[in-house]
Amino acid sequence: MALPELGLQFVYARLAWGLVLAALVAGAWPAAWRMPPRALAGIVAGSLLLMALPGAASPAWHLGLAFQYPSALLAALCVARLHARWRGERPGTMPTQLAAALALGGALLYLDAFGLLSRGFYYAGFGPGAALCAVLLAGACAWSVLKGRARRTSCAVLGALLLFSLLRLPSGNLADALLDPLLWAWALVSLGAAALRALLGRTSRAQPAAVQHELPALHSTGNEPFSPIKE
């Protein structure tokens, strides 16, 4: 088990929380307006400077008391969203496959932490199996990038895995590199939004079909719409 240096953890926490704050502020920008690059650069710089304040003057200090460190994947996804904003693109929502994987993984970890499963899933993130899992996931992400499938998200996952593999950040545990409470909540909200969109889409497709079935019945009873034009 290799743990990261304390100084690296301190620097990482300030940078990661700054990126998360910048992504939240940029996400509040109206979607109908294109964000100027200077405005985005100012948001990122201001967020990083705010988090770099010393001691309790920094919001990162208070956030660390509640959430410890943001996961490397959360920070990487925030970078991906900021990059999309920089290019004038809409960041979009979290991919459903990634949201489902994070939601399931978080549920297993939290049930294990509460003692309802008692399988030691979290502590396995310090073991040799975590390194093998990171290699396999990194290979899958690299293959996805080469094939052009979900390239931005795959790059974010690959960056998080590289940060964990090279510097053991944020805590030396693979679970902390890929998941945290904020990211888990984001995944759950994304799954709920995807389910709502699917339900609304199914309802909208069902309504025209119901109208088409009603029209033949209307004509068969002779209740045709009134028309002022007569032959």
First CA to last CA across the chain, in angstroms?
90
Which pLDDT value is given to residue 230? 45
Q: What was the pLDDT predicted at 72?
A: 97
| Amino acid occupying residue 185 | A
Query: In this predicted structure, what is the pLDDT of residue 73?
Result: 97
d(CA 102, CA 108): 10
Hey, what amino acid is at 209? A
Q: How far apart are alpha carbons 77 and 194 in whole angstroms?
A: 18
Nearest partner of 165 among 142, 187, 143, 181, judged by Cα: 142
Residue-wise pLDDT tens for the chain (231 aa)?
A: 688 999 999 999 999 999 999 999 998 887 757 889 999 999 999 999 999 999 999 999 999 999 889 999 999 999 999 999 998 888 778 999 999 999 999 999 999 988 888 888 999 999 888 999 999 999 999 999 998 888 999 999 999 999 999 999 999 999 999 999 999 999 999 999 999 988 888 887 776 655 555 555 555 555 555 444 443
Delimit the domains of the chain by residue range.
6-199
CA separation (Å) from 99 to 104, 110, 134, 173, 200?
9, 16, 18, 20, 20
Backbone angles phi, psi at 21, to 5 degrees: -65, -40
Least Cα distance to 186 among 161, 162, 153 occurs for: 153
Q: Can you give the three-state secondary structure of the chain, one letter per residue?
A: CCCCCHHHHHHHHHHHHHHHHHHHHHHCCCCCCCCCHHHHHHHHHHHHHHHCCCHHHCHHHHHHHHHCCCCHHHHHHHHHHHHHHHCCCCCCCCCHHHHHHHHHHHHHHHHHHCCCCCCCHHHHCCCHHHHHHHHHHHHHHHHHHHHCCCHHHHHHHHHHHHHHHHHCCCCCCHHHHHCCHHHHHHHHHHHHHHHHHHHHHHHHHHHHHHHHHHHHHHHHCCCCCCCCCCC
Residue 41: both structure tokens together: 């650069």
For residue 203, the model assigns a pLDDT of 82
Query: Rounded distance, CA 87 to CA 71, Å?
Result: 25
Q: Give the pLDDT confidence score for residue 220 in this predicted structure.
A: 52
Record the tokens describing residue 152, joined without a space: 């931005």
pTM confidence score:
0.86
